Structure 1
Amino acid sequence: MRPLLLAFVLLIGTQTLSAAAKIDQWQTPQGSRVYYVRTEGLPMADIQVVFDAGSARDGKAFGLSGLTANMLDTGAGKWNADQIAQRFESVGAVFGAGSSMDMATVSLRTLTDKPLFDKAVETMQVILSKPSFNAADFQREKNRTLAGLKQAEESPAEVASIAFYKALYGNHPYGHSGDGDLKTVAALKVNDLREFYKKYYVAANAIVVIVGDVDKTQAEQTAEKLLSGLPVGQKPAALPDVLAPTAGSQQHIDFPSTQTHVLVGMPGTYRKDADYFNLYVGNHILGGSGLVSKLFEEVREKRGLAYSASSAFIPMLKPGPFIVSLQTRNDQTPQALEVLNQTLGEFITKGPTEAELVAAKKNITGGFAMRIDTNKKLANYVGMIAFYDLPLDYLDTFQQKIEQVTVASITETLKRRVNPALLQTVTVGKSAK
């Protein structure tokens, strides 16, 4: 009956949570930060333990962070992968682990009935503190990663993405794929994962996020329990600054595909950037709002040059990429790229109209509640707030910050932050004859 209960809970878990969440924050005795939100109505909790241990910490061993995170639940303590999976399944819990450029995240979704909750948390604690990194499991995961990398070489989208990040970031830690490459992953040894884990999976580098129907006392006990087996350690040094490009560039990679993938951009914004909301709203109008964006209208609707065209600012710890992207028929690539650059240039120069700004604000604020309408979505937002050290009232003031954006502030910010002469352009497809 208990797994059936979880299924019922997950079914109704899309119900909207009430109002903006109140985030409590404190530190454990080991110095780890804890972020807690009490939600009532559903007997479940979403828990995350976040480490500054993303692919930006790979050093020269590209792929190390991702492989380490993927190996955590392949064996821990006295349990193998099957036994770990059975422990979570027996209480209807869902476990996950993975890494992005900035962070590694270990997550748990569990019912709050005490026997179920305690068993799920205990299992997560053993995974965090006693991962086995068994040699046979490592070889299997490494081979799986290598197979994925070989497959990625056959995808023009993957080839374009790798080349684009390299063009933007060069030798900066953001300049390589989180999956690594064939050479670096092939060279990894199981001891590399053990050393990476020992360095970065420590209490001083950990943030705990708890969102759900648990009281504060239980949240405090849970956070301390989860981290009880970790050494204190220390936080890693700050990442190096991202250097702005000194000149634009254009790179074409010949690929036997019927479509050419086009990526244009430069380093953009970071999470604590004072310009973030101007760039966010401006991008929503330019290419972030799907079928009603300026890029979509100019490239797709007016000229039929691509199925879609979009843009995004991806904020990270350091300036993440500003990306404008489309796919087009090989022989239409020059024209599509010309329209892309012209649309972007005009938007930087003139900014949006007042009507476009009003529509964008309504769209963003009107859909905001849907971004935090489940425990899991809210936990992801709180994890972002925690990792990037944003104000605890970030969710409460989000819509207010959007409303404060003006046509003038967008235009001024874009002129200052996006220089068309410094754009990096990557195209991947079959060269037109």
Structure 2
Amino acid sequence: MTKTSRLFTPLVASLALLAQLAAGPALAGPKIEQWTAPTGARVLYVESRALPLVDIQIDFAAGSAFDPAGKAGLASLTQGLLEAGSASLDEQQIADRIADIGAQIGGSTESDRTSLSIRSLSSEAERNAAIELGASLLAQPTFPEDILERERKRALAGLREALTKPAMLAARRFNEALYAGHPYGGSVTAESLESITRDDVVDFHRRHFGAQRASIAIVGDVDRATAERIAIRLTEQLPPVEAAAPLPAPAPTQATVLRIPNPSAQAHIAVGQAALAREDADYFPLLVGNYVLGGGGFVSRLTKEVREKRGFAYSVHSYFAPQQVAGPFQISLQTRGSQADEALAVVRETLAGFIAEGPSAEELQAAKDNMINGFGLRLDSNAKILGYVAMIGFYRLPLDWLDTYPQQVAAVSAEQIRDAFARRIHADRLVTVIAGGDGDKAGAAPATAEAGK
């Protein structure tokens, strides 16, 4: 195959998918099949023959919300050590095996879940080799003590650097304030990292990495029977575990302003509250409304008021981050320290006006048009489809979530947006964090400050 044809094939596949999504009055998502494997794992599968690849993501209810008290960072460290050694291979041999079979293996840890992802050629030999390796990493990690110490030192160095940056200080303090006393509110510290032992890692894996807590998404060039075998192989040797206990709802916050000193010229500002669970009746009104408020880039109200009219910030945006239980609503911006209070006043005024008035008819239609017309681009690759399918599987959303997304967006009314924002976003619960900006306040009296942890 020539270089031109190699480039042409995925291009044609992407264009074909976009054409399919754009056809007809409704934009159809991929066909998702679902079943429970004999091991107890939940499986979602999408057949896609456009490219000779298979993409797999295994999610466990084992995110940072499950870190024990005083051990923040344990979930992330456990995930990062999966590739450090298995029963039959050491770290270097694992890296060599991945390179030899042309696979990609990685992972991540969020508040709710920890993931391992596998991308492989769909040809039988390469695919089977990648699945065998993935199964070994999941079920038989050795967590070598020396590599744990190396990764701990790396994490400590990264933490020390992060705590010099006002953006990170603001993000940490904002999350701690929104979720004080809640599993979402833990922050990694030097003390928590130093306290983690190999026994902690082994125990965390044993208690959380089981098929009963696993959700598997498989997208690509394999048939249903092959997908069933893949799901079994990846989870059949995992330890038995108990189902994850439901997370509690976070306690309501009280309006407060927290200032973190830092010599930066730019002040990093975060405003918000806990607001939206992944399964929530207000999801689409809040999603569409947020596009108008601050999620739509240069066409959003916050950008027009804060940047275009007053020049307070180059960038200002808002977003909802839905999680298992109420994830954050957040407005973020950076501005010169000397004008931070003025910029913040404009943000609050704009938010209050939007809650009271909702979007105009023109704003609402523009938001819907952009969100619906751009929907196909969210599904133009196996990797993007995998991300959505994994999300649907882990959070147990309806299988037609992608199919109905455009219709759900189109059906949102201005009144629904006003009602949802009025019920869910409250001025007397908004937490405000201002980190840095001291370098732009020469001659000013020092403000009362709460230091970052």
- Shorter-chain TM-score: what band? over 0.9
Deviation at 1:403, TM superposition (A): 0.7
Taking the aligned partners of 2:75 and 2:385, their CA distance within structure 1 comes to 25
Structure 2 residue 335 is matched with structure 1 residue 328: yes
- Matched with 2:421 is 414
- Matched with 2:56 is 47
Identity of aligned residues (%): 41
Larger mean CA deviation between 164-173 and 230-239 belongs to: 230-239
Change (3 A) 1:173 1:13: farther
- Matched with 1:105 is 115
Structure 2 residue 14 is matched with structure 1 residue 15: yes
1:261 and 1:326 in contact (8 A); partners too: yes
CA deviation profile, 1:197-224 (whole Å, cap 9, x unmatched): 0000011111111000100000001110
CA deviation profile, 1:114-172 (whole Å, cap 9, x unmatched): 11111111111100110010000100011111111001111100000000011111010
Deviation at 1:414, TM superposition (A): 0.6
- SS of residue in 2 equivalent to 1:352: coil
- SS of residue in 2 equivalent to 1:345: helix
2:268 and 2:437 in contact (8 A); partners too: no
2:336 and 2:437 in contact (8 A); partners too: no
CA deviation profile, 1:292-326 (whole Å, cap 9, x unmatched): 11101100000000111100010000000000011
Moved over 4 A (4+): 7-14
- Equivalent residue letter for 2:103: A
Larger mean CA deviation between 130-139 and 16-25 belongs to: 16-25
Taking the aligned partners of 2:223 and 2:298, their CA distance within structure 1 comes to 43
Larger mean CA deviation between 19-28 and 215-224 belongs to: 19-28
Change (3 A) 1:9 1:161: farther
Change (3 A) 1:279 1:38: same
What TM-score do you get using the length of structure 1 for normalisation?
A: 0.96
Taking the aligned partners of 2:265 and 2:162, their CA distance within structure 1 comes to 17
Taking the aligned partners of 1:399 and 1:115, their CA distance within structure 2 comes to 40
Taking the aligned partners of 1:10 and 1:332, their CA distance within structure 2 comes to 52
Taking the aligned partners of 1:126 and 1:10, their CA distance within structure 2 comes to 34
Deviation at 1:59, TM superposition (A): 2.1
Deviation at 1:48, TM superposition (A): 0.8
- Equivalent residue letter for 1:249: T
- SS of residue in 1 equivalent to 2:276: coil
Taking the aligned partners of 1:30 and 1:266, their CA distance within structure 2 comes to 39
Aligned length: 427
Change (3 A) 1:409 1:243: same
1:55 and 1:65 in contact (8 A); partners too: yes
- Matched with 1:231 is 239
Describe how 1:394-413 pairs up with structure 2 within 5 A: 394-413=401-420
Taking the aligned partners of 2:269 and 2:378, their CA distance within structure 1 comes to 29
- SS of residue in 2 equivalent to 1:312: strand
Within the candidate set 66, 69, 78, 1:57 is matched to: 66
- Matched with 1:266 is 273
Within the candidate set 372, 377, 385, 1:378 is matched to: 385
- Matched with 1:146 is 156
Structure 2 residue 125 is matched with structure 1 residue 118: no
CA deviation profile, 1:89-117 (whole Å, cap 9, x unmatched): 11211000221111000000111011111
- Matched with 1:88 is 98
Structure 2 residue 176 is matched with structure 1 residue 166: yes
- Matched with 2:451 is none
- SS of residue in 2 equivalent to 1:122: helix
Deviation at 1:74, TM superposition (A): 1.1
- SS of residue in 1 equivalent to 2:311: coil
Taking the aligned partners of 2:392 and 2:234, their CA distance within structure 1 comes to 20
Question: RMSD of aligned C-alpha atoms?
Answer: 1.7
Deviation at 1:430, TM superposition (A): 3.5
Within the candidate set 76, 81, 85, 1:71 is matched to: 81
1:38 and 1:215 in contact (8 A); partners too: yes
Describe how 1:291-302 pairs up with structure 2 within 5 A: 291-302=298-309
- Equivalent residue letter for 1:15: S
Change (3 A) 1:141 1:9: farther
Deviation at 1:232, TM superposition (A): 2.8
Taking the aligned partners of 1:45 and 1:129, their CA distance within structure 2 comes to 21
Deviation at 1:176, TM superposition (A): 2.1
1:13 and 1:375 in contact (8 A); partners too: no
1:21 and 1:37 in contact (8 A); partners too: yes
What TM-score do you get using the length of structure 2 for normalisation?
A: 0.92
CA deviation profile, 1:14-33 (whole Å, cap 9, x unmatched): 82535411111111112111
- Matched with 1:286 is 293
1:13 and 1:374 in contact (8 A); partners too: no
- Matched with 1:359 is 366
Change (3 A) 1:8 1:122: farther
1:265 and 1:322 in contact (8 A); partners too: yes
Structure 2 residue runs without a partner (length 5+): 22-28, 445-453
